[in-house]
Structure 1
């Protein structure tokens, strides 16, 4: 009987990352997440399946490619769309429109699109393939005190693959970080502890009802897992997205600071991540649904929130 090869599904591997842990790092982003944060700057990370993305700025127009994508689609899910001016030549370009209700993300149109205006978000890697890619940057890890960060989505949703990759990295002497929402059974998180040097740990809101109403899950298991990691001597880099009209009020920030203080010496740093709208274009590439946007928090207010954490003696940075 042929042995099944273990694979994981990623949507990106990003080198020269300097915000996902110490030093220069390479971050592997896995697809799939049990949370559905409406501000997520990587909406392609949420679904576990591969998704067709349409980037209009790359398109040469259907006249240039003789409607290759339209002809390739077996579901008739691609039709003629709007006409727009080519920014370089000033000529009219006839673009396409993806009928999302018919598209099944088969990827045949992406295969036909040689300029990759249409492309699938999601690529399957074997453990060997991903580890070999991550090892290409080892000289940068060694020189900078960096390493590899496994991120998502929620990496714990592909636990067997993640552990297999982490084991290999530790055998190579590489510093490892795991970026997680913390929303998983403790047994799963405990299985990663021998192979993870640092947890990048997200805290969205300290009120569980508000947490569930906005991101779709309660927070009790998230907070409990953070406490257990601290009790087990693991290091945490707490990441707090500052989202207007959700968690940016002073009460929640103080509640969060108090909770971080309970984690004691486990907390290496608290990162405040002010909301930005850079992910809006990614939503538009994946769907025709309207995108909700919040008002960007101003620098003075973020500085005020930073001082609250400092009042509790917590190291804090803004990114």
Structure 2
């Protein structure tokens, strides 16, 4: 049986769709967003992450030995990131919280990494989840094959779709993505009548430039979008970069102030678009 590659399964989530949800995080992403809060999700390979708060700074020799076998780390500071699951294994975990889905109108969200990168497996999983009567959502950068995206959408109640950098030259330079592919995929989903909510990360110096926000606004208006979610930068995942020995480029960038967030909110609301902070 085909397996999916997952790096985390998080229960009792409140910000990845409606109600209480179980979020399955797929490993691997074609983008390289410097603000990514889950840098361990980017590689398509299994990795070892070090939890610095648990590290007692053993000798270099011991740490090297443990890095070959994380289970031997005396404090549990080292662990593998990435595990294969069958659909049946994931369904057993998902079904443990049916009572919460039913009582809060919650459900299951597939996130990443990028769910499109494991589209065949994700589609099969969503189909089985829907057969159980569970609400479904996906979080996606929209960067991938449209036919795969359309197949996923057939079993998805809500699509949370990132819009980051609209200028194609800047997008390719900063996040390694073709923004035209992303825009075309979003346009295609909306034209098919799917429930799609754009989510805009608010990153000072990257996505919050006035011309970028205006271009996003004009684009969502042009395709009939009525609601967007704004996701202000946070630094919660910064320690993970050290854990996988990767440089964090945004360590000197402060999260946007409340008045800056309100300015972006007003740009959309003044055009009749509902705005949710977070989501």
TM-score between both structures, scaled by the size of structure 1: 0.82
| Larger Rg computed on CA atoms | 1
Hey, what's the Cα distance between the residues in 2 that align with 1:150 and 1:282? 21
Tell me the residue number matched to 2:114: 154
Shift of residue 107, structure 1, vs aligned partner: 6.1
Q: CA RMSD in A?
A: 1.8
Distance 1:234 1:288 in 2: 37
- Which residue does 1:73 correspond to in 2? none
Distance 1:52 1:291 in 2: 21
> Which one of 11, 17, 23 corresponds to residue 19 of structure 2?
23
Match of 1:244 in 2: 204
Do the aligned partners of 1:258 and 1:312 also contact (CA within 8 Å) in 2? no
Q: Secondary structure at the match of 1:245?
A: coil
Which segments of 5 or more consecutive residues in structure 1 lack a partner in the other structure?
A: 68-77, 81-95
1:198 and 1:239 map into 2 onto residues whose CA distance is 12
- Unaligned runs of 5+ residues in structure 2 are none
Aligned pair 1:287/2:249, yes or no? no
C-alpha distance in 1, partners of 2:249/2:116? 27
Map 1:99-138; keep pairs closer than 5 Å: 108-113=68-73, 115-138=75-98
Matched, 1:41 2:37: yes
1:272 to 224, 230, 249: 230
Shift, 1:283, TM fit: 0.2
Change (3 A) 1:272 1:51: same
How far does residue 151 in structure 1 lie from its aligned partner after superposition? 0.3
SS of the residue corresponding to residue 269 of structure 2 reads helix
TM-aligned CA deviation for residue 241 of structure 1: 0.5
1: CA distance, partners of 2:74 / 2:127: 38
User: 1:1-319 alignment to 2 at 5 Å?
Assistant: 5-60=1-56, 62=58, 78-79=60-61, 96=63, 108-113=68-73, 115-264=75-224, 267=226, 269-287=227-245, 289=247, 291-293=249-251, 294-319=253-278
Deviation at 1:114, TM superposition (A): 5.0
Instruction: Show structure 1 runs of 4+ deviating over 6 A.
Output: none
Distance 1:200 1:311, change over 3 A: same
Tell me the SS of whatever aligns to 2:69: helix
- Compute the displacement of 1:57 (Å): 2.0
Contact 1:242-1:272 at 8 Å conserved across structures: yes
For residues 218 and 167 of structure 1, do their structure 2 counterparts lie closer, same or farther at Cα, with a shift above 3 Å needed?
same
Distance change in 2, residues 1:137/1:202 (3 Å): same
Structure 2: distance between partners of 1:272 and 1:245:
16
- TM superposition shift of 1:60: 4.7
Structure-1 separation of matches of 2:11 and 2:67:
26
> For residues 314 and 256 of structure 1, what CA distance do their matches in structure 2 show?
12
C-alpha contact 1:208 1:219 (8 A) present in aligned 2 = yes
Deviations 1:4-55 (A, max 9, x none): x211111111111111111111110000000000110000010011111111
Q: Does the aligned pair in 2 maintain the 1:15–1:26 contact within 8 Å? A: yes
Q: Figure out how many residues of one structure are paired with residues of the other and give that number.
A: 277
Note the alpha carbon deviations across 1:93-119, whole angstroms, 9 max, x for none: xxx4x5xxxx9xx96421212532110
Residue deviations 1:220-241 (CA, integer Å, cap 9, x gap): 0100111110110000121100
* Shift in CA distance, 79/255, structure 1 to aligned 2, threshold 3 Å: same
1:85 — aligned with what? none
